[in-house]
Amino acid sequence: MKTYLHLGVHKTASTLLQKSIQISKTKESGVYPIVRDTHYILTNTLRKYLKGTLEVEAAKRLYDKVTKDAKTQNASSILLSDENLLGDPASIHIKRNNPTLFYPNLRNRLDNLKRVIGNDFHTVIYTRQQETLFRSLYLDGLKYFRYHYSLEEFTAQCLNANFRFDKLAMNFDSQKLTLIPFESIKEGTNSFVKNFWEAIGHGDCGITPAVATLNKAIPDIQANLCRKISVLSLNKEKKNELRKWLSTMPELPTTESKIVLSPTVIQSIRDHYKDDITYQ
């Protein structure tokens, strides 16, 4: 029984791919999907185990049960798709002023995963050029982690932390790792989903969800309001209420300028990461 892990990274359309897994014709493909949308018990169990709140024996028992159930369905492989198995998203590390940005506990997490699923698994990870990745992480920080600094300030912290995919890849067995550029989504959503299924040896399984859930840019006015909310003398609950109100505010202009990096900052990112695998 082959196990495939799709581990993100965060902000590389993982939700879109998980929806594709959820609606794919699994009986015909021979792939038994275990994603947070449908079989969340296992992924949640693995998250608890990796956080140290659950013993390895409990996680292994559930994984073995899932494997046994998959065999009864004549499945050829198990697919786990959950970017949170890598660890917290980079936007949280910036919020915590942690200088180590890119999944600092990854090696230990992988070793612990092997104790549950064994060594014979193949990993699929999407890379993404930092000039767009930083922006998406920043928008996440505005929405969920109460950022009060600007995109340029956030980017400076990311550069200082040296957010590199080549260092990330060093944690994996290169023979069992497939890296796919997020930029391939520019070829079209169908191609993006197809690339994912081909990476795990099932080229005919790609079904594109009816509604793409890729993150969209937010207006600069909304970003400024989010920052102002973060410094208000209110408790966390009240601030979250304000953010929810802001996200559903129908009269908020959607044609305002989007929050983007200046050409100078983009060039500095490209210069910094020109030797990373994201730009090769």
- Determine the pLDDT at residue 54: 93
Average pLDDT over residues 210-216: 58
| Collapsed DSSP state (helix, strand, coil) of residue 274 | coil
- Determine the pLDDT at residue 72: 85
pLDDT over 60 at 252, yes or no: no
- Determine the pLDDT at residue 110: 95
Higher pLDDT, 238 or 222: 238
Residue 215: CB atoms within 10 Å: 13
Q: Going by CATH, does the domain composed of 2-136+164-212 fall within 3.40.50?
A: yes
Q: In what order do the strands lie in the sheet with 177-181?
A: 31-35, 77-81, 2-6, 121-127, 177-181
pLDDT tens readout for residues 126-159: 999 999 999 888 887 777 767 778 889 889 989 9
- Determine the pLDDT at residue 93: 77
In whole angstroms, give the CA distance from residue 19 to residue 157: 33
Question: Which region among 17-21, 59-63, 186-190, 213-217 has the lowest average model confidence (pLDDT)?
Answer: 213-217
pLDDT over 80 at 222, yes or no: no
pTM: 0.84
How wide is the angle at C-alpha 120 spanned by C-alphas 114 and 122, nearest 5°?
Answer: 95
pLDDT range class, residue 62, cuts 50, 70, 90:
very high
What are the residue boundaries of the structural domains of the chain, listed by start?
Answer: 2-136+164-212
Average pLDDT over residues 55-78: 89
* C-alpha separations of 37 from 33, 143, 229 in Å: 10, 22, 31
